[in-house]
A and B are shown apart, each in its own frame.
Chain A
Amino acid sequence: MSFSVGLSTYLLVGAMLFSLGLYGIFAKKNVIAVLMSIELMLNAVNLNFVAFNRFLGNESVLHGFVTAVFIIVLAAAEVAVGLALVISIYRTRKSTSVDDFNWLKW
């Protein structure tokens, strides 16, 4: 049984990671876990970019790699702000469960 690890394998892994992250956003009650799920989704995108760059063409063109680096940086910034927000909201509500964040509605 020959099994070659090609582009579609990476893409499939990426799609699965993305879906996992999505599931986390829908299902996780702890807001920190939700933030981690978002990280999963962004990493799925990174995987896509890197795989495309590796398999599609000219190795000297580094668009995909560079994009991935940018995404990592921006994701870090986002999480930093996110965690700060979590701390701030925990101070007033003594809770990190997304179910409790429903003062604003209707």
Chain B
Amino acid sequence: MQSFDFVALTPEIATAALTLILLAIGMLIPAGARRGMQPLTVFGLLGILGYILYDLFYAKMGPAFQGMYFHDQFADFFKILFLAAALLVVLFSGAYIQKLPAYRGEFYALLVAATLGMMILAGAGDLLTLYVGLELMTISFCILVCYLPNNGGSCEAGLKYLVLGAAASAILLYGISLIYGLTGSTQLAQIASRLGDNLSPSLILATVFLLAGFGFKISLVPFHMWAPDIYEGAPTPVTAYLAMASKAAAFAALIRVYLVTLESQSFAQAGVALLLILAALTMIVGNLMAIPQTNIKRMMAFSSVAQAGYLLVGVIAESNAGVKGVLFYAMIYVFANAGVFAVIAHVEPAQDSDEIKDYAGLARRSPLAAAVLTVSVLSMAGIPPLAGFVGKFYLFSAVMSTGYSWIAFVGFVMSMVSVYYYLSIVRVMYLGEGEGLPEIPVYGAAKFTMLFAMLITVFLGIYPTPLAQMALTAAKSLVR
């Protein structure tokens, strides 16, 4: 073990330290002084983000700890994504957290802990490491989801997430144990070389179990049933972070394990057909179920299910272009979601409601919030010239060049359907009367987050090349 190995772990170590510091401070200082924890978290995360940006461009890349951990552009890209998502969430949730009745000290520590779990997940080169990262993320999220004490919905969501998540972990572990039995190793590189092109019933079983485990986290239909309940019940910033980052983290693991290590198994003929069907189902079910929803968070849950379908299309493309599409889309999805949830987190406490009908007249009551929400959902719907359009274009063109045009067609039709429910929010905001609902001024960090998210969404729609280039480099750094 060389000192170089620990250099590769610097961001993770720093994040772990930040978690502990936040936890200690949260316990030590009096409740009134906890206001400063938000800026502290922001600066901490910014520092780590800065280091990773430096790392991405200048550091020497390569596997660390004899292949147990990957230190490559792919992992760095995802770490940047998680940290950006965490930063945005922390920035816009300050006011939301302040208004909670109690226990707000650990919120930031838990959020950073979840981020640490995701970072480990993205860099894991060993199935055991991967599992530890996954559990760190899941357990932190369990606590975050039920962060509204005395709120039945929040607790129920937390419990559902815990039980279903643990069951999904169990099946994932069972798959890992089978792979261990087949190869005598849990390291991704060794597994790939020992398995070769071999295919047996037990290997298929392991592959499917792994898919189910990751599919749960990315809310792939039919493993998606938990998502709407948890999204609705969880505190809004946590919902946002779940949608932005935990999905991306699971995709990072899915790409490493399913697309790279087990490629010849998971992409056997029937495997591809299955994936295509699942992707199509995910897009169809997600978009259809979003239509009748009346709660905006629940609607966003189904919308995020549908987005998982689009992302899976990029994985199916099985090429650098496809992975690049996934990375690009995951990153812009962070900003679109930040816009949407910043607005929800801002509106929710002011009028004590998440119902779409209560967004009536928001354009008059809070013009900036309405504009940001509009731009963000239009980006998710893939309307040019917003970033979502470019992202979908990358994903679908990648899969079309592999020859599965029909899935792109399904995606296209379902994007059209999604315009319907996205625009229904816009219609309510701009045409609704909103009599008797309060004026909602936007200020401070929340205002900054909204503006920033909107600007990035527009900017990347007009000039996507830098991010696309970064994503392509990251995609190429994957060991195949």
Direct A/B contact, Cβ within 8 angstroms: yes
A-side interface residues toward B, CB under 8 Å?
A: 11, 14, 18, 21, 25, 31, 34-35, 38, 41-42, 44-45, 48-49, 52, 56-57, 61, 63-64, 66-67, 70-71, 74, 77-78, 81-82, 85-86, 88-89, 91-93, 101, 103-105
Q: Do A57 and B184 touch (CB < 8 A)?
A: yes
Q: Do B170 and A63 touch (CB < 8 A)?
A: no
Given contacts A31-B159, A42-B170, A70-B131, contact A103 B152 (CB under 8 A): yes
Q: How far is the CA of A14 from the CA of B150 in the complex (A)?
A: 40
- Give 4 A-B pairs besides A48-B178, A74-B131 with Cβ atoms closer than 8 angstroms: A52-B184, A61-B184, A85-B155, A92-B150
Given contacts A21-B170, A25-B167, A45-B170, contact A89 B159 (CB under 8 A): yes
The residue in chain A whose Cβ has the minimal distance to the Cβ of B142 is: A81
What are the 3 A-B residue pairs with the smallest beta carbon separation, nearest first?
A48-B177, A41-B170, A104-B229
Neighbouring A residues of B170 by C-beta, 8 Å? 18, 21, 38, 41-42, 44-45
Q: Which of B166, B178, B180 contacts A67 (CB 8 A)?
A: B180
Interface flag for B156 (CB, 8 Å):
yes
B interface residues, tally (CB under 8 Å): 41
Q: Within the complex, what minimum Cβ distance (angstroms) separates A18 from chain B? A: 6
Neighbouring A residues of B458 by C-beta, 8 Å? none
Q: Within the complex, what minimum Cβ distance (angstroms) separates A88 from chain B? A: 5
Q: Do A85 and B159 touch (CB < 8 A)?
A: yes
Q: Do A77 and B135 touch (CB < 8 A)?
A: yes
Q: Do A88 and B146 touch (CB < 8 A)?
A: yes
Neighbouring A residues of B174 by C-beta, 8 Å? 18, 41, 44-45, 48
Neighbouring A residues of B156 by C-beta, 8 Å? 89, 101, 103-104
Q: How far is the CA of A99 from the CA of B171 in the complex (A)?
A: 24
Interface flag for B208 (CB, 8 Å):
no
Q: Within the complex, what minimum Cβ distance (angstroms) separates A33 from chain B? A: 11
Neighbouring A residues of B233 by C-beta, 8 Å? 103-104
Name 7 interchain pairs, CB-CB below 8 A, sorted by A: A41-B167, A66-B128, A81-B139, A81-B142, A88-B149, A101-B156, A101-B160
